[in-house]
Amino acid sequence: MNLLWLQSGGCGGCTLSWLGSENGPLFRLLADEGIDILWHPSLSEACLDDARELIARCTDGRETVDVLCIEGSLLRGPLGSGGFHRFGGGAKPMVDWVRQIAGRARHVVAVGSCSAWGGITAAGMNPTDACGLQYDGEVAGGLLGPEFRDPSGLPVINVAGCPPHPDWITETLAMLAHGRLGAAQLDDLGRPRFFADQLVHHGCPRNEYYEFKASAEKHSDQGCLMEHLGCGGTQAHADCNQRLWNGEGSCLRGGYACIRCTEPGFEEPGHAFESTPKVAGIPIGLPADMPKAWFIALAALSKSATPARVRENATADHQLRAPSVKRIKK
Amino acid sequence: MTIRRVVGPFNRVEGDLEVSLAISDGRVAAAYVNSPLYRGFEQILQGKLPADALVLVPRICGICSVAQSAAAALALADAAGIAPPANGRIAANLTLAAENLADHLTHFYLFFMPDFAREDYKSRRWHDGAVARFRATAGTAHNEVLPVRARFMQTMGLLAGKWPHTLAVQPGGSTRPLQSSEIFRLHRILREFRGFLEGVTFGAKLEQLAAIASRQQLDTWHAKTGGGDLRAFLDIAADLDLWHVGRGTDRFMSYGCYQEPDRRLFPAGLWAGSASPLDVAQISEDISHAWYAAAGLPQHPAAGSTLPVAAKEGAYSWCKAPRLAGQVVETGALARQLVAGHPLARDMVAGSGGSVAARVVARMLEIVLVLPAMERWLAELTPGEPWCATHKLADETAGVGLIEAARGSLGHWLTVRRGRIHTYQIIAPTTWNFSPRDGAGTPGVLEQALAGLPASSAEPLPAMIHHVVRSFDPCMVCTVH
């Protein structure tokens, strides 16, 4: 299975995240799984005319592309011309290259939230008219349109995340190489379910604080970040706290909120990223699948039952009280 | 006869790069550097809440992500009039240092060295070795270095939650308090990284390399057995005379970085054969050859604007042309070490100015100097002491954040009105190095460095042009942002 990777209007961070793969030498792993990199802008030897020739062959069908990976938002501006991003060495906008190759590739993978939904580049006034391959924020559409399907019937596969975890990329590619990625393996937004059917909340080390609504009030506090500091981990689809980042990290483990970076529209949450909007003291963004009345009732109950240890540790940057030691009565 | 030739995409740079060459008599008569991607972060940031910049700006760049965070955190801290507690300051140093060293490693092994495996060099005695060791994605170095790099980046998991794109770097310090066992784990990671560098990259103790004070001492060290990938590069550099290729302006600038209690580990300043202080009030951005609308003269970034236009007479890049007191300056690891006064850095440019080899060796020198500093900072962390100061930003304020990314000087200039970002102007390292011409017609650093190199109108571009371009470790996504 060969792979053509192009970078559109993004930061390159998805590639850099991927290079942090911790499952042994990445290039050896890819070769071992039968994945051949036809061209990658950060990694391949070929450049200039050689690269343009190779990509032209992919465009007109002289070279078959099994998987087209696109990293970065698709920039349609200014005025629909695509001129904010031309592929170096010629006048043709990147969006035209992407449209043409996507129409021939066996599968199309959006690597990262920019190429999935538009992402950060679409924030604010969206000066470049940025969108995703098959989504424009939460709305199906984007560069290729809602009806786009690859020859096997799959939509664009959205390996969302800003950036995605290296394993999300590698495992998606391996599933494609092994013929194990079908429509049933994608969620309603085209994300591989192996990571998107989890919530960031799952495995969060702040879980005891969450249970008792013992909340952090400022940066470096140990408590739950949902009530005050903007954490969306109970709604964000990803396995970040089960499959850790860079060894033993995650946003929550790093002490800051989950900003729901795998979700469409995350770049415009409608409130400050690191503060939680509330109505009458109740956070607006409730945990996924949680009825509001029950959340309020349980929160009130658990707050009143918070052990002093949990309450005191929540607003400190190190443990003030250790769990008590209970001896077995004999 | 002069022939104009447009070449691109240059890959193995971060982002998109195209160069237009005017070729005459088998040489580059003039080069025009184009950054062909515009994303508009300065426009996106306008009207945002100031703290939201900490989410947005790291996403300018996947490889200088922490540097962007650090510049924003410094600008916000400046606007709020606060400084982090010692632990927060040290954690910021460690996080930035981890990114900068990883970037130096990535540049050397993944972006720069693979060009020596090109067929252009098949007659050279070192070519077989370069192919085996450094060929893109296939060389033994690639499969060896990526796991080492990934292990080293586990520092980020502990210090910053993840990399790239953390929110741990805050104006008040770090969101991530560390306890003793975590500090020990960080220490183990640094020790393992040192082991790889001393065994594989350098074939020498870091302290031994840090003490090399001249080109002559470097040559003496190079001639000794001991192996290592740096020696492989020095073999090639000598054979191809990379010490005399790629000269820029020979004016070097650094904002300085890594805050110690009373100074920066590497200080701010200018080097142009002698040292002088840096006056950042003298910075301006010229847009005469960039696709932006503006009236009047070049602006200081605190008063600058970013208004893209689809077409403009004489423009050829989305990159603005920053100038210091009207002059072109080079930035990067070489500049940092020249300003900091490292004798090897100064000796490397004393005779023949900036060069491909000097830039590469300066990056390696910086790894040698910074890893021991990281080891020291780890020992200075104090669990139980505060990590992050709280603050409240005034509704009307302004701030500046100046820092050094791996590839050079990064500045953020912020103004806040009615509690929202009014203007946010960014000048990135490669904006300096790969700028287009200014209003006086003076070419940018790379444009100057390419002039005079052999090139023909039809043959494949000589590899030497690739070496010169990549010697700057360009980051094009930062350049325009």
Q: If you search the block for the tokens 């195209």, which residue do you land on? A: B18
- Decide if B388 and A24 are in contact by the 8 Å CB cutoff: no
Domains of chain A as residue ranges with CATH? 2-195 (3.40.50.700), 198-318 (4.10.480.10)
CATH dotted code for B2-480: 1.10.645.10
Residue of A nearest to B21 (CA): A89
What phi and psi values does residue B295 have, to the nearest 5 degrees? Answer: -100, 150
Cβ-nearest to B65 among A13, A48, A88: A13
pLDDT > 70: what percent of chain A? Answer: 100
Tell if the CB–CB gap between B160 and A249 is shorter than 8 Å.
Answer: yes
Which of B9, B136, B175 faces A256 most closely, judged by CB atoms? B175
Which of A7, A11, A81, A224 to mutate against chain B (most B CBs within 10 Å)? A11
pLDDT value, residue A154: 98
Residues of B in Cβ contact (< 8 Å) with A50:
460
Helix (H) or strand (E) holding B448: helix B445-450
**Nearest Cβ partner of A19 from B54, B146, B383?**
B146
Q: What is the pLDDT of residue A328?
A: 86
Residues of chain A positioned with their CB less than 8 A from the CB of B138: 27
Confidence class for position B25, pLDDT limits 50, 70, 90:
very high
Residues of B in contact with A244 (CB under 8 A): 157
Whether A54 and chain B come into contact, CB under 8 Å, resolves to: no
Using one digit for the tens of pLDDT, what is the confidence trace for A283-312? 888 899 989 889 889 989 999 999 999 999
Type and span of the H or E element at B384: none
| AA letter at B282 | Q
> Does residue A98 contact residue A6 with C-beta atoms inside 8 Å?
yes
**Inter-chain CB proximity A9 and B49 less than 8 Å:** no
CB contact under 8 A, A254 and B386: no
Q: For B371, list phi and psi in degrees, rounded to 5.
A: -60, -45
B46 neighbors A133 (Cβ within 8 angstroms): no
Give the model's pLDDT for residue A329: 82
Residues of A in contact with B179 (CB under 8 A): 318
Q: What is the pLDDT of residue A122?
A: 98
Do residues B437 and B395 lie in contact, with contact meaning Cβ atoms separated by under 8 Å?
A: no
Q: How large is the average pLDDT for residues B452-465?
A: 92
A20 confidence band (pLDDT: 50, 70, 90): very high
Q: Do B51 and A274 touch (CB under 8 A)?
A: yes
pLDDT (average), residues B124-143: 97
Count Cα neighbours of B461 within 13 Å in the Cβ-side half-sphere: 30
Percent above pLDDT 90 for chain B = 95
Instruction: List the Cα angle B364/B114/B201 in 5-degree steps.
Output: 35
Each residue's pLDDT tens digit, B352-388:
899 999 999 999 999 999 999 999 999 999 999 999 9
Residue B114 and residue A87: Cβ atoms within 8 Å? Answer: no
In this model, does residue A181 exceed pLDDT 70?
Answer: yes
Structure tokens at A104: 């021939």
CB pair distance less than 8 Å for A10 and B62: yes
In angstroms, the CA B377 to CA A3 distance is: 42
Of A11, A83, A245, which is closest to B477 when you measure between CB atoms? A11
Mutate to test the interface with A, among B45, B59, B188 (most CBs of A within 10 A): B59
pLDDT digits (tens, 9 = 90+) for B307-364: 999 889 999 999 999 999 999 999 999 999 999 999 999 999 998 899 999 999 999 9
pLDDT for res B458: 82
Q: Give the mutation candidate from A4, A16, A29, A168 for the B interface (greatest B CB count, under 10 A).
A: A16
Residue A239: band (very low, low, confident or very high) from pLDDT cuts 50, 70, 90: very high
A78 and B308 within 8 Å at the Cβ level: the answer is yes
Give B179→chain A minimum CA distance, Å: 8
Residues of chain B neighbouring A218 (CB-CB closer than 8 A) = 388, 390
**Least reliable range by pLDDT among A169-173, A280-284, B184-188, B393-397:** A280-284
Interface of A with B in 107-146 (CB under 8 A): 120-121, 123-128, 130
What average pLDDT does the segment B407-422 reach? 98
How much is the mean pLDDT over chain B? Answer: 96
Question: What are residue B131's phi and psi, to 5 degrees?
Answer: -65, -50
- Looking at residue A53, the DSSP 8-state letter turns out to be H
Retrieve residue B378's tokens.
């780890």
Read off the pLDDT of each residue in A16-39 and give the average, rounded to a whole number. Answer: 96
Within an 8 Å CB–CB cutoff, is residue A26 touching chain B? yes
Nearest-by-Cβ selection for A127 from B11, B43, B63: B43
Q: Where are the alpha helices (DSSP H) in B81-126?
A: 86-106
Cβ separation B44–A125 shorter than 8 A: yes
Q: Pick from A20, A51, A78: which is nearest to B9 by CB?
A: A51
Q: Do A125 and B8 touch (CB under 8 A)?
A: no
CB proximity A64 to B under 8 Å: no
Q: What is the ipTM of this complex?
A: 0.97
pLDDT tier at B170, thresholds 50, 70, 90? very high
Contact A17 B18 (CB under 8 A): no
How many Å lie between the alpha carbon of A157 and the closest alpha carbon of chain B? 22
C-alpha span between B93 and B189 (Å, rounded): 16
SS (H, E, C) B217-248: HHHHHHHCCCCCHHHHHHHHHHHHCHHHCCCC
Query: What does the radius of gyration of chain A's CA atoms come to, in whole angstroms?
Result: 22
Q: Return the residue in B55, B82, B112, B309 with the most chain A beta carbons within 10 A, the one to mutate for interface testing.
A: B55
E strands, B139-271, in order: 169-170, 173-174, 252-254, 257-259, 264-266, 269-271
Measure in Å the smallest separation between the Cα of A184 and chain B Cα atoms: 30
CA dihedral B215, B221, B227, B230 (to 10 degrees): -20
Compute the average pLDDT of residues B123-149: 97
| Least confident interval from B54-68, B257-271, B292-306 | B292-306
What residue of B is the nearest CA neighbor of A273?
B52
Q: How confident is the model at residue B295 (pLDDT cuts 50, 70, 90)?
A: low
Residues of A in contact with B64 (CB under 8 A): none
Q: Residue A281: its pLDDT value, please?
A: 82
Instruction: Name the pLDDT band for B225 (thresholds 50, 70, 90).
Output: confident
At B220, is the pLDDT very low, low, confident or very high (cuts 50, 70, 90)?
A: very high
Nearest chain B residue to A249 by CA distance is B157
Considering chain B, what percentage of its residues have pLDDT values greater than 70?
100
Confidence check: pLDDT of A330 > 80: no
